[in-house]
Every structure is written in structure tokens, then in C-alpha cells.
Structure 1
């Protein structure tokens, strides 16, 4: 049965996301996306009049999916500091997933030619993560908004190093399966993040 309306739109977005991650923005044509989604160019353009509009819709969809997979620090533990540790650990865990790792590579690869698109991808991953973490630091630790943002950025930065550069250069392989929160303690060195947390935010 042919997809129509919202079902077709969601299918196009999922198809376009995979295409963009595999071949980059510039090398992915609307013709190729239409063929891969098994829909007509007319239907594709009816939903997304330009490739830029399609890419922005893909970024918005990724933002929603990523935010759902990350949740908020309070979802991870009742103790505020442990919630931060596990939340940062989940970010490290998701960076190892091929869908997220390739998104980081795509943003870097398009940064010179398409800085706005690259910035959008950066905000999806790091804006969502640091924003939720900063909000937690305000509510759980009483940090002022400005200070909380700086601390959140520092915590995320130390938590993902050296994993992120190792993934970007292929020193560590990306994983094809979506990592489960249930496996967090076995896949990420949470003790290391706890030590780093106490250096950045004595608690």
C-alpha cells in the first residue's frame, strides 16, 4: 500500500537522514532521495520544496529522537551528582552509535561549505545535552544560569574526551546497534566520569 500524507513525510525524512549520513549533504540529490524513498519527485517536492528545507526537517527530527534517547539527568538517578555521571555516560555511549557518530562526521565535513547546517547538527547533539545538563545544575545545585551553562559545557567536554576524537579518526569503531541504557555501566567508564565530576563540580 502506497504511503500518503504524514506517513509518507516521515518515511522521506527517515530515508533522507540515512542518505545524508552516508553520502553527505552536497553529494545527496533530491532525485536520489526520491528513488530511495520509492516516491515521485513531485511528491517529494510537495513535502519539501528544497533540499535545504528537507535537511532542516531531518535535523528537527533528529533533535526530537536524540532528546528522547538522552532524556534528562533526573531520569538516570535520584542522587543529583550520580544523575550527572550517568547522563554524561549516556552521551558517551550514544556517540559510539554509528547513527550519531556519522552525524558528527557529517557536521564536520560540511562545516566549511555549509556552516549553518553544520551548526544545526552541533546544536542537536551538544545543545540538547548541555542545555538539559545546565537546567539540572540550576535546579539540583542552585547554580546561576550563566555559571550552570559553563559548568555543563566543561562536564560534557571532559566526559567525551578522548572517546570522541578516537571515534572520529576511526581508532575506535562505531557500533551499529542502538546502545541500551541498561548496558551503560558495562560500556562506559562511569568511575572516570565520577572523578572528573568532582574536579569540575565539588559535591
Structure 2
């Protein structure tokens, strides 16, 4: 009678039990089922992609889009050409990833606006200051320079950057103005237009600082004046005036005592 090999003892398992997460090569404390090897590959891939983008950003800034080649990016980033093409199909795709990545970073970094804040002028003033501080970032300023330099080749690039970076904030501002219009018994003709103008003015001020280095940021009083002008342009007025044909016209939040 042939002797069958004796099963290897598994001191971590009781008879009839199933393999644990540890025995399958996973650590349940990590909160995922991804093996260590795959996690290391993902981390290495992320670092390589970041290295490519950092190198490309400097080369594009120095040479412009037309004057930049993949060979130059390879030399500056220290990543092989084959690796660059593994992540990006072309120079256009690499350039687009730079712009999109910075827009997404801005969108994720911007604070929310409190829908319960009773004072639109104060809420928007503080939000504007926060936006300007977020945009006053070396990488953002470099990105704006790249966009300006590439507009002749990619005329839609500036609008795409504004939409991807400030678009979510525009939606939040419009929703906030609608909430306050109901709560404060005021009328806003076009909350979306007011939110769009707010975002455009924020980006325009930072872009002006790119074109005029050393230009100072707006003071808090200047921010307040800008916000009140935006609300005035949005035709903010008391609902009773609108219903009874009042001619008081647009009023600022201070006039309305919200």
C-alpha cells in the first residue's frame, strides 16, 4: 500500500476552518484586499508619474509647449522615454495632464461655503480670500503661465482650467445664494451668473499677478467692495419691492440687513 504524504501542519487553522486574510497574503488592518506586491507597484507607478509631471512642468515653463520635446523631459525628469509613453500617449497628453492635475488639486483644496451663514457679503468675502490664498501657489502660478503660453495652440485650455478648478465652488455659491434668497426674503435674479462672475474675478486677479509680478493681493476692504459689486450686479433686492413694483433697485447685503 503506497504511503501518502502527510499533510503539512497549519497551526493557524483549526480543522474545518477557512484560510484567514493573513494566510491569503492580505492584511485586514489595511482595510483592503490588495496584496503587498500590488500596493508596492501602485506606489512606484504613482511616484514615477509624479516624477514625470514635475520634470515636464519645468521644461514646459522654460521652453514653452512648442519648444519642448519628450527627450528633454526624459533628461530633466530622469525617467526613460519608454516609461513616459507608458503613462502618456503624447506630449499633448502629458501637457493636458499637468493642467488637469493642478485644476483638480485646486478644486479639492478649496473650502466649502456655509449654507447657514446669514450674511452673503461676509461669507463670500471670506471665501474669496480663501480662494486667492489657494491660487497663490507656486505650482498654480506656473500652470497659469503655461496656459497663457499655450492658448494659441489650445484656445479652450483656460476655460477648461477655470471650469475644472472653480466649477464645483461655483455650484456651491449658486446653491448658497438660492438658500439665502429664501431665508432672507430677498430676490436674486440669477444666482448662477453671480457665482460665475465671482469665480472669474478671483481667477482674473491671480492671473493679473502672473502678468504683473509683485502685484499685491486685494485688501479685505477691496474684497468686500468686489463682493458687494457682484451681488449688486446680480440684482439682489427685497422680494416685497419686486412684488409691489418698488423702484429701490438692487441693494447690497448691508442695505438689506441680512
TM-score normalised by structure 1 residue count: 0.71
User: How many residues matched?
Assistant: 188
1:168 aligns with 2:168: no
State the distance in 1 between where 2:136 and 2:189 align.
Answer: 30
State the distance in 1 between where 2:119 and 2:80 align.
Answer: 51
State the distance in 2 between where 1:161 and 1:9 align.
Answer: 30
State the distance in 1 between where 2:139 and 2:89 align.
Answer: 26
Pairs within 5 Å for 1:177-196: 188-196=218-226
State the distance in 1 between where 2:72 and 2:195 align.
Answer: 40
Is the contact between residue 138 and residue 148 of structure 1 (CA under 8 Å) also seen in structure 2?
yes
Structure 1: tracts of 5 or more residues without a match: 174-186
2:140 alignment partner in structure 1: 100
State the distance in 2 between where 1:163 and 1:67 align.
Answer: 16
1:5 aligns with 2:48: no
Question: Which structure would you say has the larger RCO, counting Cα contacts within 8 Å and 6 or more residues apart?
Answer: 1
Is the contact between residue 99 and residue 143 of structure 2 (CA under 8 Å) also seen in structure 1?
no
CA RMSD of aligned residues (A): 3.5
- Larger-Rg structure: 2
Q: CA deviation at 1:85?
A: 0.9
State the distance in 1 between where 2:100 and 2:124 align.
Answer: 25
Q: CA deviation at 1:162?
A: 6.0
1:73 aligns with 2:116: no
Q: Quick one: structure 1 residues 37 and 135, their matched pair in 2 at CA, closer, same or farther if it must change by over 3 Å?
A: farther
Q: CA deviation at 1:11?
A: 2.5
1:154 aligns with 2:194: no
The one-character-per-residue Cα deviations of 1:56-113 (angstroms, maximum 9, x if unpaired) are: 22222112211122232339x9555222111111223344433223322322222122
Is the contact between residue 104 and residue 121 of structure 1 (CA under 8 Å) also seen in structure 2?
no
1:197 alignment partner in structure 2: 227
Is the contact between residue 96 and residue 167 of structure 1 (CA under 8 Å) also seen in structure 2?
no
TM-score normalised by structure 2 residue count: 0.59
2:72 alignment partner in structure 1: 32
Structure 2: tracts of 5 or more residues without a match: 1-40, 232-251, 254-258
